[in-house]
Chain A
């Protein structure tokens, strides 16, 4: 039953990510917390463990099609590694309830940005 639940959550996250252009973590993290009682840290760590192979596959497909501009990937990747370690470290240092509320705030920001983008697309 748990496996079916995980498959379904992954399915929704993948569908939403591909069709609406939202990061899968926005679905994965709350779903794991609400439906599977993960604590916030475990949910975010697990979500990242899903995002890494997903991004690898996506990037590989794009690279094969010649769309990846490698001279920009290297500086962005280095900055991303630094930012990733700092962000991950800060998240781990925060208490579970605080991290969960910050994540809730991130969802609100994501929602606002999506509305803005869709309005612009609708107007254009």
Chain B
């Protein structure tokens, strides 16, 4: 969505990101609804995960520019691939 808003609508990256995030609220709420109706949401876990996430997001934003983004990305990519294999064979 962000590249589309930048390329086709001519928005700057910050506005594109912000606009996309506002639209994601609606998409995520709609996506969650079928799960919620089926009882596939752990309502006790979600607020705790959210609280941890809020703290992490504040810390993560400070990490920007301090740690080598390239190496951080590579480390995370490696973790993603290991996780993918683990999930696939679970």
Contacts and interface: CB of A to CB of B under 8 A. Distances in A.
Interface residues of A, number: 82
Interface string A3-44: 100111111111111111010101010101110101001101
Contacts of B7: none
Nearest to A118: B73
Closest CB pairs A-B (n = 3): A10-B52, A14-B56, A80-B27
Grouping DSSP codes into helix (H, G, I), strand (E, B) and loop, the A interface class, with mixed when no group exceeds half, is helix
Contact of B35 (A12, A48, A67, A73): A48
Contacts of A44: 35, 40
Interface residue SS majority, chain B: helix
Contacts of A108: 80-81, 84
A67 B53 contact: no
A33 B29 CA distance: 22
